[in-house]
Structures are given as structure tokens and as C-alpha cells.
A and B are shown apart, each in its own frame.
Chain A
Amino acid sequence: MNGVFDLAGTDGLGPVVVPDEEPVFRADWERAVFPMFAMCFRAGFFGVDQFRHGIELIDPAVYLKSPYYEHWIHTVEHFGEALGKLDIAELDRRTEHYLANPDAPLPEHADDPDLLAFVEAVVPAGAPAKRESDKVASFKVGDIVRVDRSAPKGHTRRARYVRGAVGEVVLHHGPMIYPDTAGNGLGENPEHVYTVRFSAEELWGAEHAEPNQSVYFDVWDPYLELVTEHTHRTEGAPA
């Protein structure tokens, strides 16, 4: 979908503000939100691509103005409600309760050794997105390609600033989960992933680009169309 989250090249947002020191979590509530990604993933709320799409669906003004981890609350609520796992009216009632009684305790509960073991295991193991596939790669390193101009309405990683742009395939990573289906609840459908190099002049125009700059952007096979196939020239032959 075209949305404000697709930020590359947006002007007028002001300077990047870099504090001298910053804790990993700036508020206690951030400590409770951060583990929701892994634990709600384990509970079947979403995959990582759906998780991202839930954030993309946030009201654009809220997206731009809210603290980062608040985005995560929105996507947990979005999928919790859609899957019938969260009653939002009940969530609203509890929110009022904790707003009036910030120190009221959480429900009493027992430890869960399996959940703790999941945390200890998933942090070092991760959840790889590479997949086996018998799909043949349509492109190879050295090919000149163009990103297609289509603007899908659901989740996609076709950022607007590379659509229609021509670049060179510089890395081929093999098949990985395809966000354009996985992020829309349509299955993994692995596709080959490539890194494409775009010159800044290609993306922004020679007049507006900084000198001597390029962008490396990852794309899935269906995003690309071939412009010029790379051919290995015989040594000594004219280029």
C-alpha cells in the first residue's frame, strides 16, 4: 500500500535528532511491549510480514507522531481483534481502570517454563526467512533491471522511490518468504531475493542528488523486469 510509512525521500520532516545517551527502553511500558512481538508470534497472532502490515495500517498522523513502540500496540490489537483473540471493548474498559489506578496489579499468574524456554531458544536461533524452492531465478548478478511501477494495495516492500527505477543486480540471496503474499495472509510463496544498486541520480535526478552516492535495495523476483541481460564478454573483446 502507498502510505506515510514509506518514508524514503520525504522532505520537510526536520533534522535527525540524536541524543548523547539513550537507554534501550525509554519507559517501563516499552519493556512490556517489546516482548509482545515474539510472544504473540508464538501464539499465532501474526508472522513478521503481517506484523509490519498491521503497523502500516495505523492512522498516518498517529504513525508519524507517536513513540515507536506504540506502533507495536496497534498491530497486536489489530490482529488480536481480527482473530477474535482480543475483545477491544474489554481492552478499553481495562485501559480506563489502569488509567485511574496506574499501580493496580496485573492478574496473578503462574510462571510458564515452556514460554521461558521459547525466549531462551528463539533469541539465538531466530526465525529464518530463507526457504527451499525449485523456482528458477529470473535474474543474475550483473543484469540491468527495472522495478515495476505497480502499486499494490496490501503489504508490499516495493518502496515508492525505487518503483520504475533502473539499477544493477549486485547480490542474489536465493528464495525467501514473499512479503506480498505472507504479509497479506496468503502464504509464504518463496521468491528469489536480489540486492539492486541504484545511483542517486537515477532515484532523485542529477540536479537533486548528492555527489557520488548510491542506494542498495532488496527486491523479490516478481518486482523486477529485465532491461539488459548481463553477458560475460570474452577477455580482450571490446566492451
Chain B
Amino acid sequence: MSAVTRTQEEIAARVKALESMLIEQGVMTTQAIDRMVEIYENEVGPQLGAQVVVRAWTDPAFRARLVADASEACQELGISGLQGEDMVVVENTDTVHNIIVCTLCSCYPWPVLGLPPNWYKDPQYRAAITREPRKVLRESFGFTVPDEVEVRVWDSSSEMRYWVLPQRPAGTEGWSEEQLLALVTRDAMIGVGPVGAVA
């Protein structure tokens, strides 16, 4: 294992060795590992953030509470926890488009978006998004933000966790909650993509 990169087999063996020692010390059990994985594979994910967004789109009083204190407002919907203890929602408007990143590591609002996609943690995104966000959005996400709209990049350098409240698309008046939920993508809440198209 002297090469820069280990093979998947080498990493898997290293992890199993480490896991075996931590199990013997009582630090981990396979039961607790499986439960933690189950939570972030099946229970905590961007479907929760989408619920918050739709509630904000349809309930102006909730929207005001969400913008004032996102963690407190999310708690009304039973949404809270690790890596989102203190969240701030940043609103997109006709003149402002927001994007989140963590250039120093991989900070991300888990309670509303789940665990981050790999590209969010990759050096390429972290390097480029503060310097040429319009180019990254255009070339990697096929998403163009007009020059007259200000781009604000939120670099999550503290334990505050930022995420994006996208604009409700025109033409969705009278839509059901279910229809609206289908529009809210993870990428829209990161700020790298639009909400779904209104058919």
C-alpha cells in the first residue's frame, strides 16, 4: 500500500480491520452501524428539505419563521439533528441566486438534504464554485443564471448550515402539495439546479 491510491479491495480490508478493532473495544456494533446507515439511506434525505420548501411556498407565516430561524421552523415539521443544529435558509429571488459549498471540508445540512453527493465533496467543486460559479453551473449542471441575477456563494466555514429556498415556479397556483413536492430537487436546494419544469 505504498502507492498514492489504494484499491477498493485494499480500502475494504483496512476498514474491516479497523471495524474489527473498534468492535472489540465496544466502540461499534454491527447492529448500530446498520441502523445508522439505514437512517441516512432511507429516512433522512432531500425529501425532507422538499417538505420544508413546499410548506414555505404555501404558508407565508411559516416562510417568515423559516427565514428568521430555519432550525426552529424545521423542528415544527419534526426535522432536526446532526450537521443541521443551526441552519440558515437563503432565499432565491428575481435578483439573487444562492449556492452552497464547503471549500475546507464537506459541511452540508444533513437534516434536510441527507448526506452530500460525491461531487459536492470532490476537490473540483470546492475549488471552482467560489471563483467561477456561473461557469460551473453552466458546464457541469447545464444551468444558466442570467448575468443580471447576483450569484451568492455561501461557503459553510462554521457550524452554521446554509441551504437554498428556491423560488416557486410561475404557473403552479392551485397545485397540490404532492405536485409541488415533485418539483423540489436536491440540486435546487444546493443551488446548482433549477426546480423541476412546470409541465
Contact = CB atoms under 8 A, between A and B. Distances in A.
A98 B153 CA distance: 44
Contacts of A195: 160
A7 B158 contact: no
A62 B4 contact: yes
A31 B4 contact: no
Contacts of A127: 82, 85
B86 interface: yes
Contacts of B91: none
B92 interface: no
Nearest to A30: B15
Contacts of B118: 22, 26, 68
Interface string B119-136: 101111111111111111
B20 A126 contact: no
Interface residues of A, number: 104
- The 10 A-B pairs at the shortest CB distance, nearest first, are namely A94-B17, A218-B158, A8-B103, A129-B159, A99-B13, A10-B127, A16-B140, A98-B13, A126-B85, A35-B36
Contacts of B13: 95-99, 102
Interface stretch (B56-64, B142-150, B169-177): B142-150
Contacts of A98: 12-13, 16-17, 20
A24 B160 contact: no
18 contacts: A18-B119, A19-B119, A27-B12, A32-B15, A34-B115, A39-B22, A86-B18, A94-B20, A95-B14, A102-B16, A111-B31, A123-B36, A193-B160, A210-B151, A215-B152, A216-B153, A216-B162, A218-B157
B135 A91 contact: no
B119 A5 contact: no
A24 B114 contact: yes
B197 interface: no
Interface in A11-30: 11, 13-19, 22, 24-29
A129 B61 CA distance: 28
A40 B125 CA distance: 29
Interface in B1-48: 4-6, 8-33, 35-37, 39-41, 44-45
Contacts of A203: 130-131
Contacts of B103: 6-8, 159, 161
Nearest to A24: B41
A206 interface: no
Contacts of B17: 91-92, 94-95, 97-98
